[in-house]
Amino acid sequence: MADERKEKGKLWLFDNTYKKNDSHPSLSGSGEMPVSVMREIAEYYNQHKAELQKECDDNPQQKEPCVKLTCAAWPKVSKSDGKDYYFCTFEIKRPREANSAPGNDAPPPGGADIPF
């Protein structure tokens, strides 16, 4: 079976060695966003423009429409210098579909009888 993993944006966050006081960030680093992810975000925005504008209108602190993202992070250790860092990914946060909602215990198509 071919590897069909979806492309995601990626971030690498290390301890900020330039931090001098509490107002400076604790972590800093770099990231990348594949063009396919940029296109996906643009398409999502174009398809949901009215909903995103309404969310913006309903929230006075939000200055313009925003596409929400979901993120995940894993602690890692750099192979080159042994420093700890966090590897993070992000993608568009999409509403859950009715069939994937927690607590949906509907039997699979064809019934619940499983022969093993």
Identify the helix (H) or strand (E) that includes residue 11: strand 9-15
**pTM for the full predicted model:** 0.69
Q: In what order do the strands lie in the sheet with 27-32?
A: 27-32, 9-15, 84-92, 69-77
Domain ranges of the chain: 9-94
pLDDT of residue 115: 45
pLDDT in tens, the chain (116 residues): 555 678 899 999 999 999 999 999 999 999 999 999 999 999 999 999 999 999 999 998 999 999 999 999 999 999 999 999 999 999 999 877 655 444 444 444 444 444 43
